[in-house]
Amino acid sequence: MLIYLLAATQFDRQATATALRHELDRQVAFESGFAPVEIWTAMRGNPDLALVNADRVTAETRDAVQMIPRLRKQTRVLILGAAVEPAGWKCWADCGISGYVIKDGGIEELRNALTAMEHGEPYYSRGVIEVLQERPKAADRPALSRREAELLPLLAQGMKLRDAASRMTVSYKTADSYRTSLLRKLGMRDRVDLVRYAIREGLVDA
């Protein structure tokens, strides 16, 4: 997995890269600050993961993170930051990130997050999940059919659509239509969005 490391200062980049190399046996292929020209240059290397060391959302970090999927949508974004409040989380979530690790979780949590990213799965620290689980009122939730509601947690748990169809004893084509309807009703784009929603609604275990 090619890792692209972003941090505001050279010191932060060196410290994070050293921890990745010596404690997690991971190498940083590219690194930069948050200047657009630096990001554009690094993204030409087609990184698999952008690891963003940023304790809080600023206009600079937000613009940088939003720039990454525009340049290469396959690059997943993992934030390495401080504990987050609901308002701060909304800013990060609007950037389309794939995960958030709270620094206080230690090196093992970062290891778990990187492993999840390698397998194409999202990862959120417990503190972030608690923020996500602050649910909206039931009246504000989209009305799902019984079958859509049955499919949602299966997909959110990482089950492939074909396997979910088998579990539900329906055809793959039927399950695909349920998935399409789910995404439309919830105003979401992909499985990562579904995972966020399912965690927030308490439909899957954290």
- Secondary-structure class of domain 3-126 per CATH: alpha beta
- Rounded Cα distance, 122 and 190, in Å: 12
Per-domain residue ranges for the chain? Answer: 3-126, 138-200
- In this structure, the strands spanning 49-53 and 76-81 are parallel
* Architecture, CATH, for domain 138-200: Orthogonal Bundle (1.10)
| 3-state secondary structure (DSSP) of residue 57 | coil
Judge if 3-126 and 138-200 fold alike in CATH terms: no
**Over the stretch 87-125, which tens digit does the pLDDT of each residue have?**
677 778 778 899 999 998 889 999 999 999 998 888 998
**Over the stretch 168-195, which tens digit does the pLDDT of each residue have?**
999 999 999 999 888 888 878 787 878 8
- Rounded Cα distance, 119 and 114, in Å: 9
Of 7-11, 73-77, 92-96, 165-169, the least confident: 92-96
